[in-house]
Amino acid sequence: MSYILALDQGTTSSRAIIFDAEGVIVGMAQEEIIQYYPEPGWVEHDPLNIWSTQIGVAQQVIHDCGLTSRDIKGIGITNQRETTLIWDRTTGQPIYNAIVWQDRRTAAFCEALRANGHEAQFQKCSGLVLDPYFSGTKIRWILDHVDGARDKAARGQLAFGTVDTWLIWNLTGGTRHCTDVSNASRTLLFNLDTLGWDHDLCEILGIPREILPVVMPSSGVIGSTTLLGQSIPVAGIAGDQQAALFGQVCTRPGMVKNTYGTGCFMLMNTGKVPVPSRQKLLTTLAWKRGDSTQYALEGSVFIGGAVVQWLRDGLGLIKESHNVEALATQVSDSGGLVLVPAFTGLGAPHWDPYARGTIVGLTRGSSAAHLARAALDSIACQSADLIRAMERDANVDLAGVRVDGGATANNLLMQIQADLLGVPVVRPIVKETTALGAAYLAGLATGQWTSLGEIERLWQVDRTFEPQLSRDEAEAHMAHWHRALERAKGWALNN
């Protein structure tokens, strides 16, 4: 048998997962990465830590499964997307820490761009809103704040990349500086129509094109690595959320998935035509295979599963993240408590970098269980806001949502989500659909699978959560959430 190795480099950990020809997981290895918070609202990673943990778990899972490089038909890469790295092309050494997608340090610069009338141009060309979330302003910050970086960049001595590009560079010994369309479309620099770097957007942000990677299809052999033994082709790349959309086999227009990870990310396949958003959602590339390009609408929740990590690490209410379900089920509801986890601002459809975390409705009767329940409610409420905005943009009433990510193991959260959405929430047997999507893209390029139809037949349902709450009750719940949300907005504006 032959296998596909998926490298899943996320915000909190690096993972490597091996899939067989049936799309079944045969082995997994994972290692957490170090988080740095040098100033309020700043989030960084060490690029060398990203690389060492990722190659380490890749070696580990192959060994643990009793396989060798000869058994691996191809490697697919999926990654935290907007996280920004710049390194020296000669030495391969980063010139600064990776600035993580959650980082808000460029909020004031985004405001200035908006005030200068650039917002419409960025949205029209890139499909994105002017927000610190995306890579472009992070690139600008590094070039402006690292001594000599701007001069070196202009001379072609530096390379920019999102995490996929950094991994490919290291896997191929610095011979390949490339990304795919899905990651490129998250930079504020990529034109959705021409499928290339946009000269005018680069000029506005002051970013020399010499540092930008070559943009490739999401499925196709782009290079090879010998770091795991004999040569293995690297044949699939997709940003984590687009990879999850592909892994959920949402290959037809109108199909939707929501991934519950550190953040929550909802994507709708819109087919071969980009759909402009009127609800402050993002128009983005889903993937490109051969000459076929698929687009998507996306809404992002910055703090999803991370709110559970905060209960664990910040407050010490639980020992393990999975303990939150047992704690939350000790009460029938949150007791009027609402937690808005805007720790790093709010994403779609609000896009408020100055919002901050808020807890309202506290009484003497409020308990740890009520706070745990409110934390789960907050994840579901933020996702419900996204799906309503998506329905308005696409002018469709959704029939259901396919879900994935670690938090989908939480049955209470999934039931709350179905109740608030009023549509079935469908969880597949293979929950690691982000890695699975990267594996599918690599496997299609290397002959492990021959068609989309073959992949569609592999997707299987684990459980469907049907709505149990009346629509009036669900709307009252959402209204209560929106009252609290307004109190969180703009909190740090004058700080």
The burial class, CB within 10 Å (0-12 / 13-18 / 19+), for 269 is buried
Q: Which residues contact 390 (CB under 8 A, 6 or more apart)?
A: 256, 266, 268, 279, 281, 297, 299, 398
Percent of the chain with pLDDT over 90: 82
Measured between alpha carbons, how far is 370 from 364 in angstroms, rounded to an integer? 12
Tokens 């329905």 locate to 391
Amino acid at 463: R
Q: Is the confidence at residue 252, as pLDDT, over 90? A: no
- DSSP secondary structure string for all residues of 168-179: HHHHTTT---EE
pLDDT classification of 234: cutoffs 50, 70, 90: very high
Q: How confident is the model at residue 24 (pLDDT cuts 50, 70, 90)?
A: very high
The predicted-structure confidence for 426-478, as pLDDT tens digits, reads as follows 999 988 899 999 999 999 999 999 999 999 999 999 999 999 999 999 999 99
**Which residue in the block uniquely carries the two structure tokens 């701007």?**
150
5, containing H or E segment:
strand 3-9
pLDDT given at position 399: 81
Task: Render pLDDT for 302-319 as a digit per residue (tens, 0 to 9).
Answer: 899 899 999 999 999 999
Question: Mean pLDDT throughout 228-250?
Answer: 94
Place of tokens 């295979």: 289
**Tokens 């745990």, residue?**
372
CA–CA separation, 425 vs 468, rounded Å? 12
Residue 342 has pLDDT above 70, yes or no: yes
- Percentage of the chain lying above the pLDDT 70 cut: 100
Quick one: pLDDT at residue 449? 95
Distance CA 2, CA 377 (A): 42
Identify the weakest region by mean pLDDT among 17-21, 144-148, 157-161, 266-270. Answer: 266-270
- Residue 495, pLDDT > 70, answer no
